[in-house]
Amino acid sequence: MAATKDDNFILISEVGPRDGLQNIKQIMPTEAKKRWIAALAAAGVKEIEVGSFVPAKILPQLADTAEIVEFARTIPGIEIAVLVPNVRGAENAIKAGAHKITIPLSVSETHSLKNVNRTHAQMLEAVKTIAEMVQQVSEEDRPSFEGGLSTAFGCTIEGHVPEKKVLSLAEALMEAGCDEVGLSDTTGYANPAQVKTLLRETRRVVGAENCTGVHLHNTRGLGLANALAALEEGATTIDASQGGLGGCPFAPGASGNIVTEDLAFMLEAMGYNTGIDLDALMACRSILTDSIPGVELFGFTPDAGLPLGFAKRQAEAA
């Protein structure tokens, strides 16, 4: 997303419509997805990862991504992000008009083979091809291209992931043509000290301006602590999922993302500006409970409610 002039602004990238829905068995109706995305945008969410261009037989939950992108483009003021696993997915994303394309490169090659059936070398070749495709798009319509380093903090299949491997692949992604790289705690293994060290070193290697975002999971309850650690190292974009939905189907034991509602509350309470109306954000949960009944939603803030007078203070600060 374009840089904001507000130095106190933190971008919450809502990944629920993609990461959140890919890990549940139910298929959310397309019209419900549209209502959800529109409601999130109305609540002030500025970036939404609306889906993934993967074969429907692999993730039927996301088979309508092209239609969802087309709809989201009618909503002013939001950055439309999508995940692509390969060149064909990127072609479809560009054709649909996504504003941001992220390709996942798992630092754990075993996970990469299970997740996208590609080695590191094959993925980097795909990145080069996609980067060339992106450059062929007119400047006003050109999407940004992010390389997401999955399992950067550990892997449920391989276990420990060496820091030097993360840094080497971060450099390789930038050399292959990515505009930026992001660090992803796909398996929920990260701790705050590790987040600070790895983010600091990655920013040193690729340039601070080229590594500003993190994707965190709350598998072991450290999601918000890890988000705070990332902020202290200069992160300005943090992924989150409404209701804490999500997880990687190809990483055993990987559970949900950090809860958007809790993250937004923490940031606003600390004096950061997210641009999000917390009451409106929490009201979006009803779309989920109605359209995917029985799916468990998480979050402390929605259960406890906002502190007395907090909504008024937030409105006055806006």
Question: What are the residue boundaries of the structural domains of the chain, listed by start?
Answer: 11-317
For residue 265, which of 10, 19, 49 has the smallest C-alpha distance?
Answer: 10
List the one residue out of 284, 279, 19 whose CA is nearest residue 148: 19
Query: Which residues have a catalytic role annotated?
Result: 248
Average pLDDT over the chain reads 93
Q: What is the mean pLDDT of residues 256-268?
A: 95
Residue 254 confidence (pLDDT) above 80: no
pLDDT at 255: 64
Residues paired with residue 150 on neighbouring β-strands, in sequence order? 106
Question: Average pLDDT, stretch 248-277?
Answer: 84
Question: Span 108-112, mean pLDDT?
Answer: 84
- State yes or no: pLDDT of 56 exceeds 50: yes
Digit-coded pLDDT (tens) for 72-95: 999 999 999 999 999 999 999 999
Query: What homologous superfamily is domain 11-317 in, according to CATH?
Result: Aldolase class I (3.20.20.70)
Q: Residue 162 is encoded by which pair of tokens?
A: 């060496």
Give me the amino acid identity at 264. Answer: A
**Predicted pLDDT of residue 44:** 98
The pLDDT of residue 112 is 80
Question: Can you tell me the distance from the alpha carbon of 119 to that of 187, in angstroms, rounded to the nearest whole number?
Answer: 19
| Span of 186-190, 268-272, 307-311 with lowest mean pLDDT | 307-311
Percent of the residues in the chain that have a pLDDT greater than 90, as a whole number: 83
